[in-house]
Amino acid sequence: MSTPQLPIPAGAAYMAVPDDFAHLRTVVEVQYPVRAARTYLSRNISNRVSLHLVEARRGEKVGHIRAVQVNPAAGGDPILVRAIRTLPDGSPASFFVPDDMVEVRAELITTDGRPPVSLDPRDEVVLHVPVRGYLRFLPGCYQGAMPTEQREMIHADSAEMRRYGARNESTAREVRGTDTDALRRFLFIYQHLMTSVVDRIEQIPSLIDPLTCDPKFLSWIASWVGFTLDESLPLHQQRELVRRAIRLYRTRGTKAGMEEIIRVLTAAPVTVSPREKPQGFVLGGATLAGGRTPAERYIRGEPPAHYLYDVKREGTNFFALVLEPRDRFARRFSERAPQVLRRLTQIVTAEKPAHVTFTVRFDDDGKPASAPGAAAAAAKPTKPTKAAKAPKAPKS
């Protein structure tokens, strides 16, 4: 259960930590709490990380990393990375000195004083965590605060007793103490077991958190709210969709809902312009579009397309998906731009109400002109109204 401490020979030379141990050095210098240290190392190295509980010194922070020990998988002596606390004059600093007056640096120690090889992914990383052991709950006699046995011993010289019959006796007091280190190490076995159980209990909330849970639990969590998760999406998008599932259900089909789901799935800045009719088709004034979809027209560099539609339809049946300017969109997505446009079309088609039609345009394309029927109606002259007849004067 417990990992033995690394023996440090007298006069061992301290060495600078190599680049492969940079993350271990950061954990020691910053003195991460144990949970933050495990999270940080799991994101940056692939080594197996375990804990080794040690008795906290007086003034030391409980639960913060004291040192990191590396047990080579190929065998050999372990490697220790520990923090050295020094004052501005270079003298060692105790834990009672304020942190703003202490310089903390990580140093690497080996038994033979030679620089270690690079960190192997199979090496075991052991975090030395200072804790207050279970020994403090026992009576003082088990903590070494008082002797456990005291008696007087009478010593006599047996040779003189046989030769002269004299008894040259001397009285001595013998005190037998308790081996507190052995008892502390024995109790650490149970403390290790209880620490692992407590850690699992404290990690229960993370099992149902979409941002931290195991990827295989995402579909199960999504089923709680009836959300159908597309497992072909990248993992970070799946987590965001499950986290926002309830809010996306509430706003589905609305302006805010479509803008949010597009930002999650494509990271494209968009704005939904409601009640915006598409650019109408006018003979002699329209440009023929060779592309059938927005992605094809984007690839060919064509201007906005013109459409045939009933001008009598209300504006509530139309909306436009306005993207950022074309050159900015091209710089953002580069060769992925056509794929993003196709993805945008698929998302909006699935999320919009069935009776509503939409168009996709860039912000620098300008707002389309009014419908030709409305323009013709505005340009059509109106008949002059007849002047009202004056009332006849009454006859006298």
- Which pairs count as long-range contacts for 298-305, CB under 8 Å and 24+ apart, including other chains? 298/337, 298/338, 298/341, 299/338, 303/365, 304/279, 304/361, 304/365, 304/368, 305/279
Q: Which domain holds residue 287?
A: 255-378
Q: How many helices (H) and strands (E) does the chain have?
A: 13, 10
Q: Using the predicted structure, report yes or no on whether residue 146 has a pLDDT greater than 70.
A: no
Q: Is 59 left (phi over 0), alpha (psi -120 to 50) or beta?
A: left
Q: What is the pLDDT of residues 378-393, one digit of tens each?
A: 334 445 445 445 445 5
Residue 156: which pLDDT band, with cuts at 50, 70 and 90?
low
Q: Tell me the residue type at 46.
A: S
Provide, for the chain, the percentages of residues in helix, strand and coil under a 3-state DSSP scheme, each rounded to the nearest 5. Answer: 35, 20, 45
Is residue 46's pLDDT more than 80? yes
- How far apart are alpha carbons 287 and 304 in whole angstroms? 8
* 178 lies in some domain: no
Q: How far apart are CA 324 and CA 233, in angstroms?
A: 24
- The verdict on residue 55 lying in a domain is yes
Indicate the DSSP class of residue 304: P
**Of 93, 117, 132, which residue constitutes the final position of a domain?**
132
- How many CB atoms neighbour CB 184 within 10 A? 20
How far apart CA 358 and CA 368 sit, in angstroms, is: 13
Q: Are 116 and 110 in contact (CB under 8 A)?
A: yes
Residue 338 maps to a domain = yes
Q: Which residue has the higher pLDDT, 208 or 197?
A: 208
CA angle 105, 106, 108 (to 5 degrees): 145
> How many percent of the chain have pLDDT more than 90?
20
In a domain, 308, yes or no: yes
User: What's the domain count of the chain?
Assistant: 2
pLDDT in tens, 207-250: 888 988 888 889 999 999 888 888 888 898 999 999 999 999 99
89 lies in some domain: yes
pTM of the model as a whole: 0.50
Instruction: Render pLDDT for 93-141 as a digit per residue (tens, 0 to 9).
Output: 887 888 788 888 888 888 887 777 778 888 999 999 888 877 777 777 6
Taking the C-alpha atoms of residue 102 and residue 257, their distance in angstroms, rounded to an integer, is 52
Domain end among 102, 132, 162: 132
Task: Decide if 359 is inside a domain.
Answer: yes
Domain boundary among 93, 109, 132: 132
Does 184 reside within a domain? no
